[in-house]
Amino acid sequence: MLSQFHDPIVAIATASGRGAVGIVRVSGKGLGPFVQALLGKVLKAREATYLPFFDGQGQPIDHGLALWFPGPHSYTGEDVLELQGHGGPVVMQLLMARCLAVAQGTGFAGLRPARAGEFTERAFLNDKLDLAQAEAVADLIDASTEAAARSASRSLAGAFSQRIHGLRDALVNLRMLVEATLDFPEEEIDFLKKADAEGQLDRLHAALTAVQGEAKQGALLRDGLRVVIAGQPNAGKSSLLNALAGAELAIVTPIAGTTRDVVQQTIQIEGVPLHVIDTAGLRESPDVDEVEKIGIERAWGQIEKADAVLFLRDLTRSAQTDYQQGDAAIAAALPAGLSILSIWNKWDRCSPETWAALADQREPGDLVLSAKSGEGLEALRKRLLELAGWQPSGDGVFMARERHMQALARVQTHLGSAKDLLKAQAEHLDLLAEELRLAQHALGEITGEFSADDLLGEIFSRFCIGK
């Protein structure tokens, strides 16, 4: 991946399609002669210049702005040229082709189209951003809610990285104490006790736990929660999806088996994205045709992948023996360990006495609502946030990814082992030092201090072209 790192690169940096403005971006080292050959003049650094963009025959392709950022004071840390013209796809392609043609005659024959994410990759490799900040660039672009955008912006500004660096500095200081004890075993002074190594390790572990909690909130803002609505036919699953989404997304009829396939909609509650999935009614009956069977199989497949399941039950049929048996069969088949919220629907068609009569069938945490009238929906939204583990914390949340959570979990494991080894100081100090080293390595993976090339390739390949 790094073999082409020194090639100059060019790309259309704006989204495909038509727009008011389009941008062609070029990055590389020593681009001054190329810029002068392309535009016919020397540009002032970081100052917009209005001028025509000519083709090979001296005819203008477009008129627009040129911006020149000499390295290292640029996004990538290299020389960067941006051409801002009218945002038609043909105009942008002509400008990019002109850049490639001029490069052939000015000693920049290595100029090539950029790969996805390569501009940000170079910013990382040139120490303009660490890896967590680079990932935040993509998270900011992909943010689906205002809260997610704000959190990604905080990560891009370095909030998450600063917390990781704080943990690393405390860990490095502890490693120094352990290494000193290993290097000078004959000294009468016990370095570890005098420096309160055990207390330092406890404080480090507490700080790590706090960062994990904040990172979990950030990961939730980025990835959201997969919520599957499940239950027997005609329990009101599609009506509940429509009510939560505030739109008629799913067809609703009194005919059993109307929903044959998966219908999904992403909603947000207090800025947290929830991917709500409506599924086919779950039942075993000789009346089930082949198409409905496939829908039921897909429903169970969605349940297996869910973070939480809304088990929807019909109040109007709650006294029917066959309906009770159907609900019991579904409850028994739901995966163990899955977050399940039992909901009784069609409250608008029942009396308080009906609800009271269900005392032996319902649990204390069950909810009652009407997907049709909307009564009880607000209580459901609050419970969904509780299921997600969301804890409102103002603007202090930073964006995080699953790989960050896994790295922090490894740090926690190594610190736990280190704490056990510290109690047997003289016997296992070498093992203690190794556990602390591994913990620091795991922290370094988050910011990119220790990262394999294949990991970098996987991360940056998910960016858009031109970023």
What residue numbers does the annotated binding site for K(+) cover? 234, 253, 255, 258
What is the rounded distance in angstroms from the CA atom of residue 35 to the CA atom of residue 134? 27
**In the numeric block, which tokens belong to residue 254?**
């009194």
What is the rounded distance in angstroms from the CA atom of residue 432 to the CA atom of residue 246? 56
Q: Which residues contact 196 (CB under 8 A, 6 or more apart)?
A: none
What is the rounded distance in angstroms from the CA atom of residue 15 to the CA atom of residue 23? 9
Which residue shows structure tokens 């502890």? 174
What is the rounded distance in angstroms from the CA atom of residue 8 to the CA atom of residue 60? 24
Q: Which of 61, 78, 63, 88 lies closest to 25 in space, CA to CA? A: 78
Tell me 288's DSSP state: -
Q: 438, 414 in Cβ contact below 8 A?
A: yes
Q: Which of 37, 66, 38, 31 lies closest to 51 in space, CA to CA? A: 66
**In the numeric block, which tokens belong to residue 335?**
């995966």
Cis bond upstream, residue 8 (ω within 30): no
Helix (H/G/I), strand (E/B), else coil: 237: helix
DSSP 77-126: SSEEEEEEEEE-HHHHHHHHHHHHHHHHTTT-TT-EEPPTTHHHHHHHHT
Instruction: List C-alpha distances in Å: 225 to 89, 300, 310.
Output: 37, 17, 12
Q: Which of 461, 398, 449 lies closest to 125 in space, CA to CA? A: 449
Binding residues: 25, 82, 128, 234-239, 253-259, 278-281, 467
Helix (H/G/I), strand (E/B), else coil: 128: coil
Q: 313, 344 in Cβ contact below 8 A?
A: yes
Binding residues for GTP: 234-239, 253-259, 278-281
From the number of C-beta atoms within 10 Å of its C-beta (0-12, 13-18, 19+), residue 402 rates as: exposed
Which residue shows structure tokens 């105009």? 91
Helix (H/G/I), strand (E/B), else coil: 466: coil
Dihedral sign, Cα of residue 59, residue 62, residue 64, residue 69: negative
Binding residues for Mg(2+): 238, 259
What is the rounded distance in angstroms from the CA atom of residue 28 to the CA atom of residue 37? 15
What is the rounded distance in angstroms from the CA atom of residue 73 to the CA atom of residue 169? 28
Binding residues for (6S)-5-formyl-5,6,7,8-tetrahydrofolate: 25, 82, 128, 467
